[in-house]
Amino acid sequence: MITDIAAEILRREYGARGPVTVHETWGASIVVERDGLLLKANGDRSTVAEAIIARRVRAAGVPAPEIVGEGVVDRLPGGRWLVMRRLPGVGFDASNASPERLDAVTGQVARLLSILATLSAPGWGWVGDDGRGTSSSWREWLRQQVTESAAKLGPRLSADFVTRAHAAIDEDVPERLPGSILNGDLGLSHVLVDPATGAVTGLLDWAAAIIGDPLFDVAIFSMGGPADDPIHAVLQPRMLAAYPGEIDHRRIRLYRMINHLFNACWSVDNDVPSWTPALCRAAENLAST
């Protein structure tokens, strides 16, 4: 089994001999843990790019996982692996948190996002194995996500959706704006906190890292899952209030549209059809200026 290969790498390369935990993942990826070390292989995203970004942001003071090694094994998804050290803390359970804890955690995440906003990198969009963005402009990358998502979602979206969404991007996203490293997928499960103190101890999963407008991470914080998740209305106003940078609500709207498209595509790929219609409707509404 693939997980046995991962466990053996942890034993052979790092001396890990404890019990093996196979973590839940989606798509063509695996995460296997042994003795506090996690081996990740990913057939959907580059572990080379993920390691580059994780090291860069960790060095800047953002609590990304420590990357302790990388290697090549053809039988693993993507043919490559990385090993990272487990971070302390647990995923942020916002649904059961007090208002004070919600404010405190969201404020800490906002400050960490402001650090990311200072980390420039060449290019735009998805990060390649050279650490550069793979698109020539931020607008181009946004338009590409609309086009590719609409191709997957097909008739679930209106016939003129792509035209309207592209027009909104061209109108509301400046041709030139400062770009920085973004997490790109900042759901609540990717925010680790100390359950006793509420201190943020980690930001996880840099596989979807992009080079883009810092407001993108602000706009999609906590916005994973179904379109009608009530936690969105709890955390997003707090994030917009806590983020120290300037907020452009037109761009926030567009980036939420992109995120709804991503979530709708995820629901199709992972057979969660109950999410798809509402996510597509939400994207349609946000594309209308």
pLDDT on residue 253:
97
Beta strands in the chain (DSSP E): 20-23, 29-34, 37-42, 67-72, 80-85, 90-91, 124-127, 133-135, 180-182, 191-193, 200-203, 210-212
- Considering the domain delimited by 2-85, tell me its CATH architecture: 2-Layer Sandwich (3.30)
> pLDDT of 134-147, one tens digit each?
999 999 999 999 99
Same fold: 2-85 with 90-287? no
pLDDT on residue 289:
62
> pLDDT of 215-245, one tens digit each?
999 999 999 889 999 999 999 999 999 999 9
**Which CATH superfamily, name and number, covers 90-287?**
Aminoglycoside phosphotransferase (APH), C-terminal lobe (3.90.1200.10)
Q: Give the domain ranges of the chain.
A: 2-85, 90-287
Q: Which residue has the tokens 């995203």?
A: 45
